Amino acid sequence: MLATVRKDLSRWRQDIVGILLWMSIPLLIGGLITSMMDGGGGAKPHGVLLLADQDESFISGLIAGAYGQGELGELISVEKVSFEEGSRRIDAGNASGFLVIPAGFGNAFLESEPVTLTLRTNPAQTILPGIIRDVTEILLDSGFYLHELFAPEISTIRNLVEDGSRPDDLLVAAISVAINAKIEAASSQLMPLALDLEIVEPPPSDAPSYPFALLFLPGIILMALMISANGLASDFWIERAQGTLRRVIIAPGQMAGFLVGKCLAAGIVMTAVGGVTLVVGFLYRGITFTRLPSALGWIAVSGIALFSWFGVLQMAAGTQRAATVVTSMFLFPLLMAGGSFFPLAALPDWIAAIGRKTPNGFVADRLTTEIIADAAWAIDGQSWLIVAAIAMTGLGACFLRLRSGFARG
């Protein structure tokens, strides 16, 4: 057994590049996910609204200026263009929207006559065109209600403009008093709203929330363990090609020690593969290292269990190429279902329940418990027994397969 451990570690150390690649999988994926989740939300989306103002009136200018106010101005930049240039740029997808204010819009608004504003949006974008469309509809609705509210005052001002006469101070004061009175009357209904709202908030959850990237960590580690277990289990084909298995099979009482030695060596390698990511994750998240020994122990035992059963799958095929196909057919569906691509905690309950029944999902779920628990050694004893039983049965299946003829080729 010890000789096999030394032999395998010595041989696998010569393929250090492959082991480093297995280690880089969780570090690379975890780094990408963490940068996306913890990157401060990233840059805000920013769009361009092309505006062809064919009216050039005071009212059309108010609409153009409304898009650049407050936080909306941080999302949308307004560029005044000609109709031809705006059409060309929106057709080329170089803007989020193209708004055309037709000539006569200001007069139509004052006269309360129908008028059409044309808004074209970029179908290649989703969020910003929707914002532009909603803001435009709000502006038009606001203009309608303002016109309804101040129709007499607007009519008086329009008549003065059309006549070209200068209003006297008494008329200006009368218009101002009328506008102010309407604003005060409306304020009693609008500020605050004269509505009786009952806001029902869901009761606070007793379960603490954890960063999404932290919940991703166990699944990523299991992805690396599954891939490395499959790669290490393919070593049975190399041992057979070199004649090692034939010599072991004829040596009395050596097969059990040989298999246990290979499992221990594989467990050491996979513990190193998962341990590097665990240490990096603990340092980044500020997790106490008192949980590291228990998490590493869980990874070691689980890695041996995965290795033994991948060994069974490898030896079940007739050729090494067929073994690669067979193990790939099991590997990727298990990774998908077991929480390596999406954390089990983020999946619907019925999907998560299925995922926890898979071998890697079971291991990842318990590893999550260990990482987020209040104290170390949070994984229950029954789970340890289950993983140990999986490892023993897999080892036994490998023993029977070697005895049944795989070792002889």
**Domain residues of the chain, as ranges?**
2-34+211-406, 48-149
Residue-wise DSSP of 346-361? GS-HHHHHHHTTSHHH
Q: How many CA atoms lie within 13 A of 383 on its CB side?
A: 22
267 phi and psi, to 5 degrees?
-65, -40
- Of 357, 360, 317, 322, nearest to 341 by C-alpha is 360
CB 260 within 8 A of CB 10: no
Question: Rounded CA gap, 248 and 8, in Å?
Answer: 15
Helix (H) or strand (E) holding 215: helix 212-233
List of residues 6+ apart from 30 with CB closer than 8 A: 213, 216, 217, 220, 277, 280, 281
- Asked if 50 and 98 count as a contact pair (C-beta separation under 8 A), the reply is yes
Query: Residue 216's pLDDT is what?
Result: 82
Which architecture, in CATH terms, is 48-149? 3-Layer(aba) Sandwich (3.40)
What local confidence, expressed as pLDDT, does residue 41 receive? 47
CA angle, 168 then 173 then 179, to 5°: 130
8-state DSSP, 317: S
State the Cα–Cα distance between residues 187 and 35, nearest whole angstrom: 47
Task: Please state, in angstroms and rounded to a whole number, the distance separating the CA atoms of residues 222 and 362.
Answer: 10
How far is it, in rounded angstroms, from Cα 237 to Cα 323? 9
Q: In a 3-state reduction of DSSP, which class is residue 99? A: strand
252: left (phi over 0), alpha (psi -120 to 50) or beta: beta
102 within 8 A of 54, measured Cβ to Cβ: yes
SS3 at position 97: strand
Structure tokens at 180: 């102010």
The Cα–Cα gap between 249 and 181 comes to 102
Residue 369 burial class via C-beta count within 10 angstroms: exposed 0-12, middle 13-18, buried 19 and up: middle
Could you tell me what percentage of the chain is helix, strand and coil, using 3-state DSSP and rounding each to the nearest 5? 70, 5, 25
Task: Tell me if residue 243 falls in helix, strand or coil.
Answer: coil
409 residues of the chain, pLDDT tens digit each: 999 999 999 988 888 888 888 888 777 877 777 676 655 444 556 788 999 988 888 778 877 777 767 667 777 888 899 999 999 999 988 888 999 988 888 788 777 788 888 999 988 887 788 888 888 888 777 777 766 666 676 677 666 656 656 666 666 667 667 766 766 665 555 555 444 445 444 555 555 556 666 788 888 889 889 999 999 999 999 999 988 888 888 876 788 899 999 999 999 999 999 888 888 888 887 888 888 999 999 999 999 999 999 999 999 988 989 999 999 899 988 988 888 888 887 777 888 888 899 999 999 999 988 888 888 899 999 999 999 999 999 999 999 998 887 877 6
